[in-house]
C-alpha cells in the first residue's frame, strides 16, 4: 500500500473564503498527484536521517491502491464545516474511481461521549451533506495509539479481495484493551530494567537497546508510547533499580552488623548496660527473631 498526500487545510487569514474553492480543486487534482510520498510527522523525518523520502515522480510506475481519509472529530477543530464538505465530496470522487477507502476518525480521545462517534459522523454526512456514508470508519487516537495499525489493516482488507473479514471496534472498547496491553508491556519493560544484571556504571537505555534479546521489546514500546515515553519509563525504572540495590546493600550491612553484635554481647544484660543504646535496636532484634533466647525474659 502506498500513501500519497491528499490535501491539507492551511491556516490563513483568507482561509474561510478560500477553503471551498481550494477543496474542490484538491479533490479533483490530488487524487492523481505524483509529487511526493506522504508522512505523518515531519519531526519523525528530521529525527531519523535515513528515513526514505522518495518522490513519486522518480518512480517508474505508481498506482493508487486505496485511500485513507482522516477526519478530525476534536470539537475545537477550526474547520469543521469545511471538513464535512471535503469528506463528502472526496468520497464522491473516490466512488467514481471505484477505489476502496477507509475513513479514520482522529483525536477520538477529545470526545466526551466516545460510544457513538461513527454514527455521529454518518448522521452529519446524511443531514448536512445529503450523502450516504457507507465506507468503514476507524476510530483512532494517536496520543494513546488506539486503532492506528488497525486503520491500515482495514484498508488492506478492503484492497485484498480474499480478506474482507475485519470488524472495526469503537474507540472506547479499543482504548480499554490497548490500555491493558500497554500496561503489561510497560510492566515487562520496567521489570527487565530492574532485574538486569548489567553493572550500574555501564547501564543505559542504549545498552539495553543494543542487546538482541531486548531489541524487539524496546522497539515495540517506543512504537506505543514514543521515545520520550520510553525514556521516562527507563528513568523511573532505573530509580527503582537503584532503590533495590540500596536495600540489598542495607540488608547485607545489617547481616554483618548482627554477626558483629553477637560476637560483642553475651546476653541482653550486656546490651542494657549500655546507657545510650537505642531501644529501636532491641525492637529490631525482636522483629527479626534474632537471638530469641536472649529476649525470653524481656
Domain ranges, ordered by start, for the chain: 2-29+64-169, 175-244, 265-297
What are the b/e assignments for 244-283, b being 16+ CB within 10 Å? eeeeeeeeeeeeeeeeeeeeebeebeebeeeeeeeeeebe
pLDDT at position 105: 92
| More confident call, 298 vs 276 | 276
Distance from C-alpha of 265 to C-alpha of 274, rounded to nearest angstrom: 11
Residue 108: band (very low, low, confident or very high) from pLDDT cuts 50, 70, 90: very high
pLDDT at position 212: 52
Residue 214: band (very low, low, confident or very high) from pLDDT cuts 50, 70, 90: low
Backbone angles phi, psi at 104, to 5 degrees: -110, 110
Nearest to 124 by CA among 164, 72, 175, 166: 72
Residue 5: band (very low, low, confident or very high) from pLDDT cuts 50, 70, 90: very low
Cα pseudo-dihedral 233, 235, 240, 246, rounded to 10: 170
pLDDT at residue 175 is higher than 70: yes
Q: How many residues does the chain have?
A: 298
Q: Which CATH number is associated with domain 2-29+64-169?
A: 3.40.50.300
| More confident call, 238 vs 63 | 238
Distance from C-alpha of 25 to C-alpha of 81, rounded to nearest angstrom: 17
pLDDT at residue 15 is higher than 60: no
Rg (Cα) of the chain, in Å, rounded? 31
Distance from C-alpha of 219 to C-alpha of 224, rounded to nearest angstrom: 9
Distance from C-alpha of 69 to C-alpha of 103, rounded to nearest angstrom: 5
Per DSSP, the three-state class of 42 is: helix
Q: What is the average pLDDT across 254-274?
A: 72
Query: What mean pLDDT, rounded, does the chain reach?
Result: 72
DSSP H helical segments within 115-211, as ranges? 117-129, 148-159, 171-194, 205-210
Q: What is the pLDDT of residues 115-148, one digit of tens each?
A: 789 999 999 999 988 889 988 899 998 878 888 8
Amino acid at each position: 500500500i502506498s500513501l500519497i498526500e491528499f490535501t491539507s487545510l492551511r491556516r490563513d487569514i483568507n482561509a474561510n473564503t478560500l477553503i471551498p474553492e481550494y477543496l474542490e480543486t484538491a479533490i479533483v487534482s490530488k487524487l492523481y498527484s505524483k509529487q511526493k510520498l506522504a508522512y505523518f510527522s515531519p519531526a519523525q523525518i528530521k529525527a531519523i536521517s535515513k528515513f526514505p523520502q522518495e518522490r513519486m515522480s522518480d518512480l517508474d510506475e505508481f498506482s493508487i491502491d486505496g485511500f485513507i481519509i482522516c477526519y478530525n472529530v476534536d470539537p475545537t477543530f477550526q474547520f469543521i464545516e469545511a471538513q464535512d464538505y471535503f469528506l463528502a465530496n472526496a468520497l464522491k470522487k473516490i466512488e467514481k474511481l471505484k477505489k476502496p477507502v477507509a475513513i479514520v476518525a482522529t483525536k477520538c480521545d477529545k470526545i466526551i461521549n466516545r460510544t457513538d462517534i461513527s454514527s455521529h459522523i454518518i448522521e452529519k454526512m446524511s443531514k448536512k451533506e445529503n450523502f450516504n456514508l457507507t465506507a468503514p470508519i476507524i476510530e483512532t487516537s494517536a496520543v494513546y495509539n488506539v486503532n492506528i495499525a488497525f486503520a491500515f489493516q482495514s484498508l488492506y482488507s478492503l484492497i485484498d479481495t480474499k480478506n474482507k473479514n475485519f470488524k472495526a471496534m469503537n474507540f472506547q472498547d479499543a482504548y480499554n484493551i490497548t490500555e491493558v496491553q500497554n500496561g503489561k508491556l510497560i510492566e515487562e519493560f520496567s521489570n527487565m530494567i530492574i532485574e538486569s544484571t548489567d553493572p550500574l556504571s555501564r547501564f543505559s537505555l542504549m545498552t539495553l537497546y543494543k542487546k538482541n534479546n531486548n531489541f524487539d521489546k524496546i522497539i515495540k514500546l517506543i512504537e506505543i508510547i514514543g521515545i520520550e515515553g520510553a525514556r521516562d519509563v527507563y528513568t523511573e525504572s532505573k530509580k527503582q533499580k537503584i532503590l533495590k540495590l540500596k536495600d540489598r546493600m542495607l540488608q547485607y550491612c545489617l547481616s554483618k552488623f548482627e554477626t558483629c553484635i553477637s560476637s560483642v554481647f553475651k546476653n541482653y544484660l550486656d546490651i542494657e548496660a549500655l546507657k545510650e543504646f537505642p531501644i529501636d535496636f532491641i525492637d529490631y532484634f525482636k522483629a527479626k527473631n534474632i537471638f530469641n533466647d536472649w529476649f525470653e525474659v524481656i
